[in-house]
Structure 1
Amino acid sequence: MEQTRLVILAGLVIGLVYGSVGLLSGFCLMSSLRGWLVEGDGRLVRSYALAIAVAIAASQFLAGTGMVDLGKSIYLQPTISAPVLFLGGLLFGYGMVLSNGCGSRALVLLGRGNLRSFVVVIVLAIVAQMTLKGLIAPARIALVQASQATVSANSLPLLLTRSGAADAVSRMLAAAAIVLALILFAFAHPAFRRSPGQIASGAIIGLLVAAGWFATGYLGADDFNPVPVTSLTFIAPIADSLQYAMLSTGLTLNFGIATVGGVFAGSLVTALITGRFKLEGYSSPRHMLRSAAGAALMGIGGVMAFGCSIGQGLTGVSTLALGSFIAVAGILLGTTAGLRGALRVQPLAAT
């Protein structure tokens, strides 16, 4: 029980920091891609790339030193369903554009007084729970069972190991190659190099991913009552948080729920201190309908993809799991489709 309380406290602190940094920096994959692809501003996407690089480097260090067994996470499983992961990513990415942000961004904006985000969070939570355990769950399970396959190598380091390299060398080579490429991409942009706030936010959020692994995989290690090894992710935790708010006496507080509460609280406190708190609502019924539809797609897609733009885009990728790269490819393609091309989500007319 002592380890469990420690892990919950760590989740709360990680959430508080994420909420504050997310509000101050505008950290968000959808905003990053919109700025890069539509508005020609590549600073936010470089911040996201730096966060991935830091998350991979720090997480693989923890794994390489034996402090955390990433193999116990949901991302490194012996069987994967590539079609479901990719399709889930597509749905999540497109829904993210419809809702103008992912689940974690909605939590951050809700703390700032954005009531549109309240609708997004509630709809996402309900539909995600339906996809996990409710009416949509049988269809999801059937799709997974029809398309899953057992893989001999479920991560990039294991692929290198199969070619004859030692485990430690494979881990180091795979992590170093991706981290170096992401850092070069980030710092090749002059405007990003002149943005210390964006550099700091990317580095901090990347470290928060590693902190989550450390909290659940090291601090929560217990042979008799082990804590699930996980880190920052928001789809299932948002769904669990809504259920916990309604049925707390029959449920157990966990790392994910504590993190969700921390993100909201961190954003709220930061918004009040900096004078950014402002109540905002929808401009029209159509706006609300589109936002709710996007939240529903994120709820379904996030469960199918085993995570969101943070849960797979940062946390999953930090394990170097092949399934995470498949899900992220779907998220990027779905988001791009919503921002550009024939399926582009059109701006709402002013009312």
Structure 2
Amino acid sequence: MESTQLVILAGLAIGLVYGVVGLLSGFCLMSSMRGFLAKGDARLVRTYALAMAVAITVSQLLAGSGTVDLGKSIYLQQTFSAPVLFLGGLLFGYGMVLSNGCGSRALVLLGRGNLRSFVVVIVLAIAAQMTLKGLIAPARIALVQASQTTINANSLPSLLAMLGFGEAASRALASAAIVVALVLFAFAHPAYRRSPGQIAAGITVGLLVASGWFVTGYLGADDFNPVPVTSLTFIAPIADALQYAMLSTGLTLNFGIATVAGVFAGSLVTALVTGNFHLEGYSSPRHMMRSGSGAALMGIGGVMAFGCSIGQGLTGLSTLAVASFVAVAGILLGTTAGLRGALRVQPLAAA
């Protein structure tokens, strides 16, 4: 089997597992933060923290052993625009609240029969493609060119290396500091320690992120036909999947498209098997408009931020890239603004 075919099949398998876990556990950054900030339920946010800890640990082990070169990913670039990354994160985070979930969550809920998610996925894909290659692309490129900067230390380990630490020590220290903090945060909550399903979900999602790096960075490392080194992310892949569905002739399958298909299929099969499949729609035209607006913001912001709550929040941060911390800060602030304060998105019943 050629390496590209192996990568596609592996991407499909990773997506299938994510779809199953996402549906059964409710894994989602927006739901996590809503529970943490508004409802006082911190279990889901601790699942996200655990997933991040696992993703960082295993990804950095792969990088430190030389198995995968994370430097070939889009996250560890020395030239980037911090303002555009942060602004994109803000737009994505706020859009996520308007749409009641991120792109990956929309795929999972679509498999369960949620027709609102169908609108979110389509609008997100169109807005992302417009920002990547369409009408909005020139403005995005101009903003990046006007504000980009070049730094020598593009990751936390490289920052420590500038202080005199060796490469291996820098990687170990940076990883350990973050992972220990995340694990302590996750398991400090008694109710979370009594939630084996959520613990399993966090570990599984973190391993899926590392698996994506292994698949594309090791199995796909063909000198004659290399594939981009990447892992779980959903903004550009959803846009590519829609384009492939419409114009498959002349286009090629890739890891991201296969992952998107796998997430939907995994969720659909799980919903059917467990009896949780049922059709849902919008409660009002206003509901649809708000959801669609949020999807557009996620598509635009996700492209500007080089990823989503999964693509930057887990995959990007697993590389310990400075740019990813900037984007995630924007995502968290945008989500918080949508859940609390003057810019809070009001519940539909009160809207």
In the other structure, the counterpart of 2:182 is 182
Aligned AA (2:308): C
Offset of residue 350 of structure 1? 7.7
Task: Give secondary structure in 1 for the equivalent of 2:320.
Answer: coil
In the other structure, the counterpart of 1:278 is 278
Offset of residue 133 of structure 1? 0.1
In the other structure, the counterpart of 1:170 is 170
Between the aligned partners of 2:350 and 2:260, the Cα distance in structure 1 is 33
Unaligned runs of 5+ in 1: none
Offset of residue 224 of structure 1? 1.4
For residues 1-351 of structure 1, what are the structure 2 equivalents within 5 Å?
2-349=2-349
Between the aligned partners of 1:297 and 1:350, the Cα distance in structure 2 is 23
Offset of residue 250 of structure 1? 1.4
Between the aligned partners of 2:346 and 2:227, the Cα distance in structure 1 is 44
Q: Structure 1, residues 72-118: CA drift from partner, whole Å, max 9, x if none?
A: 00000110110000000000000000000000000000000000000
Between the aligned partners of 1:350 and 1:25, the Cα distance in structure 2 is 28
Between the aligned partners of 2:66 and 2:349, the Cα distance in structure 1 is 55
Aligned AA (1:303): V
Task: Give secondary structure in 1 for the equivalent of 2:290.
Answer: helix
Between the aligned partners of 1:81 and 1:350, the Cα distance in structure 2 is 39
Number of residue pairs matched? 351
Percent identity, aligned pairs only, is 85
Distance 1:243 1:109, change over 3 A: same
Between the aligned partners of 1:15 and 1:160, the Cα distance in structure 2 is 35
Task: Give secondary structure in 1 for the equivalent of 2:129.
Answer: helix
Between the aligned partners of 1:91 and 1:191, the Cα distance in structure 2 is 33
Offset of residue 49 of structure 1? 0.1
Between the aligned partners of 1:106 and 1:192, the Cα distance in structure 2 is 25
Task: Give secondary structure in 1 for the equivalent of 2:248.
Answer: helix
Offset of residue 302 of structure 1? 0.1
Between the aligned partners of 2:324 and 2:288, the Cα distance in structure 1 is 31
Between the aligned partners of 2:112 and 2:69, the Cα distance in structure 1 is 36
Between the aligned partners of 1:350 and 1:287, the Cα distance in structure 2 is 12
Aligned AA (2:337): A
Large movers: runs of 4+ above 6 Å: none
TM-score by length of 1: 0.99
Offset of residue 223 of structure 1? 1.1
Task: Give secondary structure in 2 for the equivalent of 1:248.
Answer: coil
Between the aligned partners of 1:196 and 1:44, the Cα distance in structure 2 is 12
Aligned AA (1:209): V
Between the aligned partners of 1:244 and 1:229, the Cα distance in structure 2 is 20
Between the aligned partners of 2:55 and 2:350, the Cα distance in structure 1 is 40
TM-score by length of 2: 0.99
Between the aligned partners of 1:139 and 1:189, the Cα distance in structure 2 is 45
Between the aligned partners of 1:118 and 1:250, the Cα distance in structure 2 is 26
Offset of residue 349 of structure 1? 2.1
Q: Structure 1, residues 252-280: CA drift from partner, whole Å, max 9, x if none?
A: 00000000000000000000000010100
Aligned AA (1:105): R
Q: Structure 1, residues 35-93: CA drift from partner, whole Å, max 9, x if none?
A: 00000000000000000000000000000110000000000011011000000000000
Alpha-carbon RMSD across the aligned residues, in angstroms, is 0.9
Offset of residue 3 of structure 1? 0.1
Between the aligned partners of 1:310 and 1:337, the Cα distance in structure 2 is 19
Between the aligned partners of 1:274 and 1:64, the Cα distance in structure 2 is 41
